[in-house]
Amino acid sequence: MLFGYACLAGLSHLLLDFTNNYGVRPFWPFSERWYSWDLVFIVEPVLLVVLTLGLILPALFSLINEEIGARSKRPHTQPSGRLAATIALLAVFVCWGLRDYEHRRAVAALQSRNYQGADAIRVSAYPYWVNPFRWYGVVETPTFFAAMDVDSLSPEVDPEAQMQIHYKPEETPITLAAKKTYLGRVYLSWAQYPVTETEQLEKDLANDPVESARAAYVVRFRDLRYDYPGRDARAMLGATVFLTRDLQVVEERFGMGTRRHSRNRE
């Protein structure tokens, strides 16, 4: 029985991770594919409150009943912790059901229009916390990505007219070299709407063999599904690859902001 409960706990953890927009790889190591339901934010206050109440209310009511029983000297029936847990789990399923319905409406709204005269290749809607009717939409067209908010209650696309256009960067030998690194391959296998930014750090150092071994280019990876309006780009989960002038890898970094895990190579 305990082993069965342990397996159920592990599977429920996968289910909870599947409902947010980070996703899981349930079939690893046999398959590297990521799956995500994109229903709830990574930290959803509504679900945390519901589950916390299901945990503490039975104990609270038990203490109240014991106090009343001690005063009246009559037995009182204590509320069942199992009942509270059942109600809390049902509330979670109701929240998922509502969000799934609104998520489908948001995706349908994104698919029903074109963007600057271009048809969408694929669309996605990602959740905000608390509000199940507000979604962050990302659309891919042949030449650019479009990012905007979606009101699924209407449903209305870009209600505040703040659509952001991200043109697809041109592939260069520098970006191709960065994408072929270990970090580049791993990040691209996880990212849904990846874009790259290339920066040249130094001038041509071909005549100085010592200096030419240092990083001359930096290629930054980011995923537009986390580029929520008003969010600091430094807080996004991205990756960075440093390359020499002859496109040899100097360093690979992964993380948010300046606090990154790094992997150095000579």
> 184-213 pLDDT, tens per residue?
999 999 999 999 999 988 654 444 444 445
Q: What pLDDT, on a 0 to 100 scale, did the predictor assign at position 32?
A: 87
Q: What pLDDT, on a 0 to 100 scale, did the predictor assign at position 28?
A: 87
The mean pLDDT of 115-129, rounded to a whole number, is 93
Q: What pLDDT, on a 0 to 100 scale, did the predictor assign at position 69?
A: 59
The per-residue pLDDT of the chain, averaged, comes to 85
Residue ranges of domains in the chain: 45-166, 169-264
Q: What pLDDT, on a 0 to 100 scale, did the predictor assign at position 201?
A: 83
Q: What pLDDT, on a 0 to 100 scale, did the predictor assign at position 7?
A: 93
* pLDDT band at residue 75 using 50, 70 and 90 as cut-offs: very low
Is residue 260 predicted with pLDDT exceeding 70? no
Q: What pLDDT, on a 0 to 100 scale, did the predictor assign at position 257?
A: 53
* pLDDT band at residue 156 using 50, 70 and 90 as cut-offs: confident
* pLDDT band at residue 262 using 50, 70 and 90 as cut-offs: very low
Q: What pLDDT, on a 0 to 100 scale, did the predictor assign at position 241?
A: 93
Give the whole-angstrom CA distance, residue 119 versus residue 172: 26
pLDDT in tens, 18-32: 999 999 998 988 988
Closest CA to 215 of 242, 180, 241: 242
Q: What pLDDT, on a 0 to 100 scale, did the predictor assign at position 172?
A: 94
**Mean pLDDT lowest among 36-40, 105-109, 162-166:** 162-166
Is residue 120 predicted with pLDDT exceeding 60? yes
Select, from the ranges 165-169, 201-205, 212-216, the one with the highest average predicted confidence (pLDDT). 165-169
Q: What pLDDT, on a 0 to 100 scale, did the predictor assign at position 61?
A: 74
Q: What pLDDT, on a 0 to 100 scale, did the predictor assign at position 236?
A: 76
Q: Which residue has the higher pLDDT, 65 or 13?
A: 13
* pLDDT band at residue 81 using 50, 70 and 90 as cut-offs: confident
Is residue 152 predicted with pLDDT exceeding 50? yes
- Of the chain, the end-to-end C-alpha distance in Å amounts to 52
pTM for this prediction: 0.80
